[in-house]
Structure 1
Amino acid sequence: MTSPAGLTAPLGRRRLRWHAAGCLAVLLGALYLAHRYRPAVRHAAERLAAADQGWLLAGAAAALTTWAASALAQQGAVVRRLPGARLLAAQFAASAANHLLPAGLGAGAVNVRFLMRCGLPAGRAAGALAVKTTASAAVRLALIGLLAPACPGLLRLPHLSPVAVAALLGAVAAAVLLITSLWSRCRRALAAVLADIRTLHARPSRAAALWGGSLAFAALHALVLVAVTRAVGVPLAPLQVALLYLAASSAAALLPTPGGLGSLDAALALALIAAGAPGAAAASAVLGYRLLTVWLPLLPGLLVLVVLVRRKSL
């Protein structure tokens, strides 16, 4: 009879193969897009190569600290004390896994698995992730609300065709019907999440970690884009760039692509150009932001993911 350990090893190797295959698919897709739009990518890369290296280093430093902010927010969503080094490594691995599955499923799966390995039941682990996600969305909306009056006229609602409006209304109606059909389950899940939120906010240190980490995560990502726009000479004020990033990333989250691949790039580029940035400079800024936050950390993040799986931390 096969032992559980004997079954676990093949399953672990199978997961690693799937992660490697997903990484390969993402890289091949990026290479195809780079080849398809080779002149534009080459021009953006040349401009980025001649950019201010000091600002690029500042952007890289901000990108590195985003994982610490994510770890702080995740600790704030859990009453139990989590192992700091493994928590930070899990956030780094989750950022890589996030680019293999759509709509944040990769990062969510890594974080839930990590929390379960730390002793949380599956329901509590999923609830902690929901609390963190909710806090992140609330912080982004609050920042948009605070920055929008400082940059009047910068954010404008796009003109939607009747077909787009009809499609949007149809999607909303489908979502309402789905929530209604699953209301009994959603109600129980929502009650559990609200109970977790009340428990966390009864401990000021956890509440400060949750909201402070969520605020720092959003601000640091905005700072990465601000640094890159300074490096390539985009003629926009830092507050304007930060507001455009928050709005574009929030809009891109509605499209379930792996890590916002394609949706966030297009939203950022269009937002920068609509605000007055030259097309070439906007493309260079988006390329630089993606290099610092996605492509350069992707392979190290996947290696950390493999190590965590092998050590049974995930």
Structure 2
Amino acid sequence: MTLPLTGPPPALPAPVRSPASARALRLTLSLLPLLLIVAWAAVDLRTVREGTARLAAADPGWLLAASLFTCLGWVAAACVRQGAVPERLPPGLLLASQFAAGAANHVLPASLGAHAVTLRFLQKRGVPLARATASLALYSLVRPVAKTVVLVVFVLVAPDLLRFGDLVPDNWALLLTAGGALAGLAVAGVIVAVVRPLRRPVLGFLRTALSDARLLHTMPGRYLPLWGGAAATPLLQGSVIACVGFALGLPLSWAQVVLALLVASTAVGAVPAPGGIGPVDAALVFTMAAFGAPVGLATATVIGYRVLTVWVPLLPGALVLSALVQRKVL
């Protein structure tokens, strides 16, 4: 007579991925950015055509300066990423990953594409998942704080430079914005407190993030590029817009254009559009028009800026992204 078996059933063997399937997956991931770009180009072809035509008739000297500031923007992003992790990252590969992240960032909303590329890059460099995720949170926190500091400095240094009457929202709009932010934080706190499975990972993430933030701010080689790169980013973006505007004959100064970008991105920067395209563009045109620029010229400047910073580097960025995936850097 056969006795019934007791104890847990034998564990099933883990599935083994064959080299052929791994190569097919890598090939699919390397081709995916190119396919997304083709689809996006088909949707936004009119903007690319109009912006390219305007840039072709612009002053090439100012466009060259705008291209230089665009490249410096990737350097600033790499500095912020390095400053957000204690481990030393290879500078060349870090810069290449941020160039590739720029292509991914313009496909997915709310910087999800850039964060996904950076998270994968950090994990491939041996950074633990908890620390890599904490670095993304620190990066996302430092950038708006640094931008706000730059905006306050602009206002304090030149309080009479511009008129803010048409740009400052009324009291009801401010109250609704503050109430929405507080309600979001309260809902998040209640969810973490009520849902027990979320409590431990969230608390662990917070402990790691706070511990890493304290550690990084004891290392000058980390907090200087972290905050310096974050403060330089809006200045470099504003310089690109100003140079494109000067190439087209925009009647605003560099300080006015940079302040217009700071105000516009602060007002609608939280809207989850891919790369900030859409809401930030509309707010930027409105802000420059409020500062005295013709609406048509302000629109042409923003379109030219997007073509120069999004569409021109998009295909090279996607090719770099595909190469990094194929070489297992990502």
Given the two structures, how large is their TM-score scaled by the length of structure 2?
0.84
User: Is 1:157–2:159 an aligned residue pair?
Assistant: no
Equivalence for 2:37: 23
Counterpart position of 2:82: 75
Which of 83, 89, 111 aligns to 2:118? It is: 111
| 197, 200, 209: which one aligns with 2:213 | 197
Q: How much has 1:142 moved relative to structure 2? A: 0.3
**Is 1:103–1:253's contact at 8 Å kept on the other side of the alignment?**
no
Residue matched to 1:85: 92
The one of 179, 186, 189 equivalent to 1:176 is 186
Name stretches of at least 5 consecutive residues in structure 2 with no aligned partner: 1-14, 194-198
1:98 maps to 2:108: no
Q: 2: distance between equivalents of 1:224 and 1:182?
A: 42
Q: Report the CA distance shift for 1:240/1:187 in structure 2 as closer, same or farther (over 3 A).
A: farther
Q: Give distance in 1, aligned partners of 2:171 and 2:249.
A: 32
Quick check: which one's helix share is greater?
1
Aligned partners of 2:141, 2:177: CA distance in 1, in Å?
A: 26
Q: In the aligned structure 2, how far is the partner of 1:301 from the partner of 1:144?
A: 30
| Conserved? CA contact 2:151–2:259, under 8 Å | yes
Q: Unmatched 5+ residue regions in structure 1?
A: 36-40
Q: Distance in 1 between matches of 2:318 and 2:53?
A: 28
Q: Given that residues 70 and 309 in structure 2 are in contact (C-alpha distance below 8 angstroms), is that contact kept between their aligned partners in structure 1?
A: yes
**Structure 1 residue 132 corresponds to structure 2 residue 139:** yes
1:306 alignment partner in structure 2? 322
Partner of 2:204: 188
Match of 2:241?
A: 225
Deviation readout 1:277-296 (Å, 9 max, x if unpaired): 10111011101211221110
Residues 161 and 271 of structure 1, relative CA distance in 2, 3 Å threshold: same
State the partner residue of 2:11. Answer: none
2:28 pairs with 1:14: yes
Please say which of residues 82-91 and 270-279 is displaced more in the overlay: 270-279
Identity %: 39
Residues 97-143 of structure 1: per-residue CA shift (max 9 Å, x gap): 00111110000000000000000111111111222222211110101
Query: For residues 181 and 146 of structure 2, what CA distance do their matches in structure 1 show?
Result: 25
Cα displacement (A) at 1:153? 2.4
**C-alpha distance 279-207 of structure 1, shift in aligned 2 (>3 A):** same
Deviation at 1:165, TM superposition (A): 7.7
Q: Which residue of 2 aligns with 1:259?
A: 275
Q: Deviations over 1:24-77 (max 9, x none)?
A: 23212212x549xxxxx74x6655433222111111111011111111111111
Q: TM-score, normalised by structure 1?
A: 0.88
Q: Is the 8 A contact 1:103 1:256 kept in 2?
A: yes
Partner of 2:148 in structure 1? 141
Tell me how far apart the structure 2 counterparts of residues 143 and 190 of structure 1 sit (CA, whole Å).
Answer: 27
Deviation per residue, 1:194-226 (Å, 9 max, x gap): 111111111111111111222222221111111
Q: How much has 1:232 moved relative to structure 2?
A: 1.6
Structure 1 residue matching 2:293: 3-state secondary structure: coil
**Which structure has the greater CA radius of gyration?**
2
Deviations 1:165-208 (A, max 9, x none): 87985675355313431254544323321111111111111111
The CA RMSD over aligned residues, in Å, is 2.6
- Distance in structure 1 (CA, Å) of the matches to 2:128 and 2:180: 37
